[in-house]
Chain A
């Protein structure tokens, strides 16, 4: 088992520019079922993907692949033709929020937005538009979602992952890779790894993913990786203390970050005395989360917490 994505995932790619095309190709090589693309200026054409498979991906496949992906003008048309149940957004920042809303209007249940640099006000509007619609947005500004050896949506390197027992949630891309690779080398592996993104306004938060991992029978423990800014980690700590039935290990980046400076991610900023690493670490510690003293210790902290 896993959460969010699996062998049943049928993926649309919104935005077949250089990055979108490259990562669509990497996902197909991994064994992900990419069924359609949306790119208005090339609608009606077909994009051909071919090459050697990524052997770390879905097992028991031939050594090479060749996939023809039909391109559509709208998400609605792509879904109608392909019965897609997930989409990945690579649309550039100025149009990304609109692409997210378009996917929601077409009732795509899972929308993963990779785009970095989306204006906050656009996300405020998109978040309101998504409202109570039966869709889930992950991101933007995130590495994506992967269930090892089943489905890769996003930009993460496939080979560091291994199917296994631990769920991973993170606001940071490269720190997710760090945690995932440690789990792989310790033989724990991952059920699903979810990058929720580094922006101040995003779709899915720690608590949403913790709930899913809590209910996923294959997930035996969870690593959550937070960073300075906002109070999402504090909220997650409350959930862990009150409802989590599985051990949680964690790490917070930004102990040494100076206040008032935006540390790369738009969301990673200590402002008004809020969002400090110390406050997050205290809240997580009080909730019984096993904190890794350094990012090199995330895997071993998980191993210890599993008992």
Chain B
């Protein structure tokens, strides 16, 4: 599960990570008030207005409605014009940003609507570093990644100058050892008091990642200010869905407006659904088979409209929900049902398909490939159901048939 920057900073700040002072705003007035409060509290007339969406690249992103406007804006007007000049500019920015569509390298061309801003105190930045805690699958442990190239696209840094990425493996029984934190700090070129502050920062960050079952905590950039303080200027966290049950505080931060409504509905029915851009809907049991069903459709010249795993069951209720979700997508011109009935018998699955269709109707061609125990009974049930279905002898046959029918 992903959360917003301001939520990540709340979690981090509450656990002792230094973060800039900031306030959330969902309206122009709230943004103005936030700026006024921050300037009064910090005495710094510089504030930053940041779009809150679940995607990176906001600083370089642009709004579809305002091509000159970036997703993150530093407001300097207060330096010369006083606090009210800053407040006025924040208000003008908020008016344009809220409700507009931000397009970044991570959102895709369609972008994401900005519903929330985070107004933050400005900092006097002397250095920008990169710091992250994430799972390294190859060792089955968390690692700390750090780099002097803060504020950059870290994947590009890893590609172009891999020697600038530092790594330390975290032993789950020990955490990040002092010597590891020390050497990270020194290799980043930090000394003295700032080094000590960095060591405390990174040690705490690793503890928080473990405590909250975060699969990624990324601070990009981590900044050193002119006064020698260490701050998380940005904060990105995502969490292991399987562990959310033990973190109600995190689970409550879910922002459903950031998620596809069809995907949410699917989740509630126990289906795993991801919408894609093609025209052939898929209903499959098992994640690997579901992915490769998309692949085989593409192989035969079609475009999959979705990933959908009905799991091991596929009862009438789930099939009905799956058909409803798939056909709600106006692009769908046909549905391929591909079920390898493992333990579940094919006659049971066929009954589910028939009941499901009878419940919600079917407006596009459907090809059904069934395999498994009692497959002959299952196919016979489908043939005799009077429904407009085509059966397939195997996955390849089914994929070819649905691609032809959906043309």
Contacts and interface: CB of A to CB of B under 8 A. Distances in A.
B91 interface: no
Interface string B390-401: 000011100100
B309 interface: yes
Given A200-B135, A251-B292, A264 B240 contact: no
Interface in A94-147: 94, 117-125, 127-128, 143
Given A119-B240, A268-B287, A201 B342 contact: no
A257 B297 CA distance: 12
Contacts of A268: 287-288, 291
Contact of A257 (B246, B294, B299): B294
A260 B171 contact: no
Nearest to B277: A258
A157 B140 CA distance: 30
A121 to B, nearest CB: 5
Given A120-B243, A264-B309, A273-B155, A172 B287 contact: yes
A178 B140 contact: no
Nearest to A22: B343
Nearest to A297: B396
B276 A258 contact: yes
Given A124-B141, A201-B135, A294-B395, A254 B285 contact: no
A22 B297 CA distance: 35
Interface in B251-273: 272
B396 A296 contact: yes
Contacts of B243: 119-122
B342 A155 contact: yes
Interface in B308-342: 309, 312, 340-342
B286 interface: yes
B304 interface: yes
B407 interface: no
Interface in B57-98: none
Nearest to B215: A120
Interface in A280-294: 293-294
A26 interface: yes
A227 to B, nearest CB: 6
A143 B213 CA distance: 26
A179 B141 CA distance: 32
A175 B292 contact: yes
B289 A174 contact: yes
Contacts of B179: none
Most buried by A among B173, B210, B274: B274
B130 interface: no
A127 B140 contact: yes
A240 to B, nearest CB: 18
A94 B242 CA distance: 9
B213 A121 contact: yes
A198 B286 CA distance: 11
Contacts of B341: 157
A267 interface: yes
B298 to A, nearest CB: 5
B288 A120 contact: no
A294 B296 CA distance: 6
B295 interface: yes
Given A201-B135, A264-B291, A295-B395, A172 B173 contact: no
Nearest to B274: A261
Contacts of B158: 272
A231 interface: yes
Contacts of B312: 155
Contact of A263 (B159, B274, B298): B274
Interface string A163-205: 0000000111111011001000000000000000010110000
Contact of A256 (B213, B289, B304, B342): B304
Nearest to A128: B172
A172 B286 contact: yes
Interface string A239-277: 000000000000101111110110111111000110001
Contacts of B307: 257, 261, 263-264
Given A155-B343, A264-B307, A230 B138 contact: yes
B68 to A, nearest CB: 28
Most buried by B among A157, A173, A295: A295
A94 B240 CA distance: 13
B288 A170 contact: yes
A170 B343 CA distance: 18
A287 to B, nearest CB: 18
B106 interface: yes
B140 A124 contact: yes
A174 B294 CA distance: 14
Given A173-B342, A253-B288, A293 B137 contact: no
A264 B106 contact: no
A254 B213 CA distance: 27
A264 B294 contact: no
A24 interface: no
A228 interface: yes
Interface in B332-357: 340-343
B291 A263 contact: yes
B287 A128 contact: no
Contacts of A253: 288-289, 291-292, 295
Contacts of B250: none
Contact of A198 (B142, B173, B288, B296): B288
Interface of A: 22-23, 26, 93-94, 117-125, 127-128, 143, 155-157, 159-160, 170-175, 177-178, 181, 198, 200-201, 225, 227-232, 235, 251, 253-258, 260-261, 263-268, 272-273, 277, 293-297
29 contacts: A23-B343, A93-B242, A94-B246, A119-B243, A120-B135, A121-B240, A125-B173, A127-B140, A128-B140, A155-B342, A172-B286, A173-B286, A173-B342, A174-B285, A174-B289, A177-B342, A198-B288, A225-B288, A227-B287, A227-B291, A230-B137, A231-B138, A232-B137, A253-B291, A263-B291, A273-B155, A294-B296, A294-B396, A295-B296
Given A121-B210, A173-B286, 17 more contacts: A120-B213, A120-B242, A124-B140, A128-B173, A143-B342, A170-B288, A171-B288, A172-B287, A178-B289, A178-B395, A181-B340, A201-B135, A225-B288, A230-B138, A257-B307, A260-B106, A273-B159
Cβ-closest 7 pairs across A and B: A172-B288, A264-B287, A174-B286, A119-B243, A296-B396, A174-B289, A175-B288
